[in-house]
Amino acid sequence: MIVEVEAYGGPLDGPWPDAASHSFRGFGGRNWVMFGPAGRLYTYRSHGIHVCANVVCATDGVAGAVLLRAGAVEAGIDVAQARRGDSTPPPALARGPGNLCSALGITMDDNGIDLFDAESPVRLTPSEEHVGADGPRVGVSKAADRPWRFWLAGRQEVSLYRRSPRAPALGESD
């Protein structure tokens, strides 16, 4: 169950201008999925090491996505631990976007798949859980104060907030 997400917009001329988004500078090499139809998985490699996953959200032709930042593993704890390390405590298995992909076995090969197709190796099902809290996004140096991170309050699986050291002082970022 996803317990923490972050919203990312698109270019200046779109509905959600967002300098922190991969799609801010327009359609390109890695971000093409973000411009496609909603419900697809957009994966990217972070710092050369980790894979992070987004759910594409806007209509076809408009860039917008939600980064999956943390989840609670409700089934297959043993499988997730085999991927992350057997001594990893369950709440930490999918805490953080890189760890979440590791625990779920999401790789760059999954980029662009349809999350609502029963045939897909990764799928998403809506839940009744409501958003509990919001705040600024983790690690972004642009638009660092924009409260576009959402999580379920009180859940142990939610990652810790870290402001980017490269972000301007509080209040000086758009």
Partner DNA sequence: GGTAAGATCAGC
Partner DNA sequence: CTGATCTTACCT
Which residues contact DNA (rule: CB under 7 A)?
A: 6, 8, 20-23, 25, 28-31, 34, 42, 44-50, 52, 54, 65, 67, 84, 96-100, 108, 137-142, 159, 164, 166
CB-nearer residue toward DNA: 67 or 104:
67
Cα 146 to Cα 79, 162, 172: the distances in Å are 36, 14, 11
In sequence order, which residues have a C-beta less than 8 Å from that of residue 55 and are 6 or more positions away? 38, 39, 40, 41, 42, 65, 66, 68, 115, 124
Q: Is the dihedral of CA 49, 173, 5, 86 positive or negative?
A: positive
CB-nearer residue toward DNA: 4 or 152:
4
DSSP state letter for 91:
G
In the complex, least distance from residue 171 CB atom to DNA, rounded to whole angstroms: 18
How far the first Cα of the chain sits from its last, in Å, is 31
CB-nearer residue toward DNA: 28 or 121:
28
State whether residue 153 is helix, strand or coil.
coil
CB-nearer residue toward DNA: 103 or 152:
103
In the complex, least distance from residue 77 CB atom to DNA, rounded to whole angstroms: 16
Phi, psi of 51 (to 5 degrees): -110, 135
Q: Is the dihedral of CA 124, 108, 84, 3 positive or negative?
A: negative
In the complex, least distance from residue 128 CB atom to DNA, rounded to whole angstroms: 25
In the complex, least distance from residue 91 CB atom to DNA, rounded to whole angstroms: 12
CB-nearer residue toward DNA: 86 or 128:
86
In the complex, least distance from residue 173 CB atom to DNA, rounded to whole angstroms: 11
